[in-house]
Amino acid sequence: MNVIGVIPARIGSTRFPEKPLALIAGKPLLQWVIEGSLQSKKINEIIVATDDSRIANLANKCGVKAIMTDANLATGTDRIYAAIKNIDCDLVINIQGDEPLIKGHILDSLVDRMILSPSAEMGTLAHAFKDQKDLQNPNMVKVLVNKNSEAIYFSRFPIPFSRQDINTSLSLFHIGIYAFKKSFLKTFCETQATPLELAESLEQLRALHLGAKIHVVQVDYETHGVDTAEDIKRVETIIKRLKS
């Protein structure tokens, strides 16, 4: 099975312009993501899909190929498909370009699940909530799974609603890293955004609307994505703690 990992990285983030080049503990954010991804033993090639020559140059310096894509593409998933549509591969891993703490073995656990689950069109990652207060945070996406560890629903709101005062969450914290069968990625990107997807501002709801099986791999992984400049200090604190 040919597995391609793609890191979408655009220069014009609304909340954090030039984010992939922002320094974290002395290295650009994108470099952290590339180095962590290259630890994977199951991904055959890592590609950066970008709209900016500076990002492409950084990718090349880090030892991976960069593919230039249209700056006007709507989403990172569209950017990934534009980069790989002419590449012969079976499985595409969407590695978010703002996840500097990503490690290769985490990506490999997702690849392994997809190989063992031939009926799954998609896969993704999640972990248990460490702080119940996070359930109220709309920036922390929640996912409910069935007995087969397949996604039932994703939401920015606490799910499910409970009439009882329970101390543990029935949902998991969703990590926005995905595996796509290439054939389904094509279908996904050729389908217009759905009303539910637009209401929650969550792309993965389009896949559920299409009837896709999304396998959810629960991992023990401390993640902190970089959405704003303020997140850099939090990530640097985690990096220092992990090194000590």
Q: Residue by residue, what is the 3-state secondary structure of 41-95?
A: CCCCEEEEEECCHHHHHHHHHCCCEEEECCCCCCCHHHHHHHHHCCCCCCEEEEC
Phi, psi for 225 (deg, rounded to 5): -70, 160
Residue 232 has pLDDT above 60, yes or no: yes
Residue 35 has pLDDT above 70, yes or no: yes
Q: Residues 123, 69, 188, 199: is their CA dihedral positive or negative?
A: positive
Q: What pLDDT digit, counting tens, does each position of 88-139 carry? A: 999 999 999 999 999 999 999 999 999 999 889 999 999 998 888 888 888 8
Beta carbons of 141 and 176 less than 8 angstroms apart: yes
Q: Where are the domains of the chain?
A: 3-125+174-243
What is the CATH superfamily name and number for domain 3-125+174-243?
A: Spore Coat Polysaccharide Biosynthesis Protein SpsA; Chain A (3.90.550.10)
- What pLDDT does residue 212 have? 97
- What pLDDT does residue 48 have? 98
Q: What pLDDT digit, counting tens, does each position of 206-231 carry? A: 999 999 999 999 998 877 889 888 89
SS3 state at 152: strand
- What pLDDT does residue 165 have? 60
Q: What pLDDT digit, counting tens, does each position of 39-69 carry? A: 999 999 999 999 999 999 999 999 999 999 9
SS3 state at 198: helix
Please give the mean pLDDT across all residues of the chain.
Answer: 93
- What pLDDT does residue 64 have? 98
- Smallest CA-to-CA distance from 122 within 35, 209, 41 is with 209
Residue 167 has pLDDT above 60, yes or no: no
- Smallest CA-to-CA distance from 69 within 87, 88, 89, 48 is with 48
- What pLDDT does residue 168 have? 58
